[in-house]
Structure 1
Amino acid sequence: MAEHSFWLPTHTAGSRDLRLYAPSVVRNRDPIKAVLRRVVPPAGLVLEIGSGSGEHVVHFAQALPGLRWQPSDADREACESVASWTRAAQVEDRVLPPLHFDASAAWPPMEPLAAILSINMVHIAPYAACEGLFRGAAAALPPGGPLCLYGPFLTGQGDAPSNISFDRMLRRHDPAWGVRSLQAVQATAAEQGLALDEMVEMPSNNLLLVFKPRTSVV
């Protein structure tokens, strides 16, 4: 069954605890962490695009202490949740305050990055967000710096029925959303000088795609 990032509140009105809860996080955070441990540099700043509830970033901050994390989201409620999860987990030394911005627009100034991560974002946003993700990553990543993109994708070859039905459900909710074609995503990355370096099969018919800046050939 395909996953999504729709959130459930964990707080009551007037509460200072503004944490949101995404049920899929418990299922996917450790498989994602295993790949990050292998492909992301052991130290440096990682930008997360579309941090959602904030559960992923605090889990990774606890498990990968050599890294610092810059969460971000286009949704203000999500940013409030990220900040609340960061306080609750007491990882303020490794997780910066969340940035509120849309990946499809101009990215704000930030510290030099070691890597970029985006989980379950490109299918729950207009495709312009995917285009902006690759455009921003191409400008911000150092040579060899990975962009890790997790979520469901359609390959056109034996796609899981759950991913096909998930795509239909998303498009009914918003015609601009939808499970993206892997080939289209690769083409968008290539337009910005990023190439697919690795593709890892993940639980619930998801993939983790690792893109890196193409090495120039002299």
Structure 2
Amino acid sequence: MNKPYSAASERNREPILALLHEWFADRRHVLEIGSGTGQHAVHFAAAMPQLIWQSSDRAEHLPGIRLWLDDARLPNTPAPLELDVAGAWPPWRYDAIFSANTLHIMAWHEVESLFASLPDITTDDACVAIYGPFNIDGQFTSESNAAFDRDLKMRAAHMGIRDVAEVDALATTAGFNLVEDVPMPANNRLRLWRRRSEVS
């Protein structure tokens, strides 16, 4: 089996890492939700050796993630966890959560499940960083994002770019406040929330 490969992951990894270096500088145990190919897990864990980088995804993606982890042989990347956000979550607590290009793939009820589960899997000082395209005030931020959204809906009706206000409402209900919202290349954003006890 050849390792899965995402050109987008290769393109966006350095801009994301530049921010995670700052945001995760005092973190120790990260859960990556929807690790996909595993490229981000290997790259970020190698660049931030103080972190234990826990990858996770649905069962069908785990073999490919394992190939990347096995090739890298990093001491801070445990075996990937099987995780369906609408199902059971791991029994551990993490001080950071990361996810890239997942919210627009999930059905909205799965996005709701993700945020609703955060209080049970995070520490009191946890932060959550999510990368991807977002709408603002119900509007696409670019023509390319509008075209991407049309393509997503052709693939599956439940997919689509999410609006920042709706996502922030879920985060607020889960006890997290938005503290950073950074425009990224290719009309994406990297957004950071912290548990309310940390920002009050």
Normalising by structure 2, report the TM-score.
0.93
Partner of 2:81: 99
Q: How does 1:1-150 map to 2 (within 5 A)?
A: 15=1, 17=2, 19-74=3-58, 76-91=59-74, 93-110=75-92, 112-150=93-131
Identity of aligned residues (%): 37
Deviation at residue 88 of structure 1 after TM alignment: 0.7
Q: C-alpha distance in 2, partners of 1:197/1:143?
A: 16
Does 2:197 align with 1:215? Answer: yes
Deviation at residue 213 of structure 1 after TM alignment: 1.3
Q: Which secondary structure state, in structure 2, belongs to the residue aligned with residue 28 of structure 1?
A: helix
1:177–1:59 Cα change, 3 Å? same
Q: RMSD over aligned Cα, in angstroms? A: 1.8
Deviation at residue 108 of structure 1 after TM alignment: 2.3
Structure 1 stretches of 5 or more lacking a match? 1-14
Q: C-alpha distance in 2, partners of 1:95/1:143?
A: 23
Larger mean Cα displacement after TM superposition, 113-122 or 188-197:
188-197
Runs of 4+ in 1 over 3 A off after TM superposition: none
Q: C-alpha distance in 2, partners of 1:186/1:159?
A: 17
For the 8 Å contact 2:49–2:76, the answer to whether it is kept is yes
Q: C-alpha distance in 1, partners of 2:115/2:174?
A: 6
Structure 2 stretches of 5 or more lacking a match? none
For the 8 Å contact 1:20–1:78, the answer to whether it is kept is no
Q: Which secondary structure state, in structure 2, belongs to the residue aligned with residue 187 of structure 1?
A: helix
Give, as a single letter, the amino acid of the residue that structure 2 aligns with 1:142. Answer: T
For the 8 Å contact 2:95–2:125, the answer to whether it is kept is no
1:109–1:153 Cα change, 3 Å? same
Q: C-alpha distance in 1, partners of 2:106/2:17?
A: 24
Q: C-alpha distance in 1, partners of 2:199/2:98?
A: 27
Normalising by structure 1, report the TM-score.
0.86
1:207–1:107 Cα change, 3 Å? same
Deviation at residue 47 of structure 1 after TM alignment: 0.2
Q: C-alpha distance in 2, partners of 1:23/1:206?
A: 15
Q: Which secondary structure state, in structure 1, belongs to the residue aligned with residue 94 of structure 2?
A: coil
Aligned length: 199
1:70–1:38 Cα change, 3 Å? same
Give, as a single letter, the amino acid of the residue that structure 2 aligns with 1:130. Answer: V
For the 8 Å contact 2:177–2:199, the answer to whether it is kept is no
Q: C-alpha distance in 1, partners of 2:148/2:120?
A: 32
Does 2:166 align with 1:166? Answer: no
Give, as a single letter, the amino acid of the residue that structure 1 aligns with 2:18. Answer: A
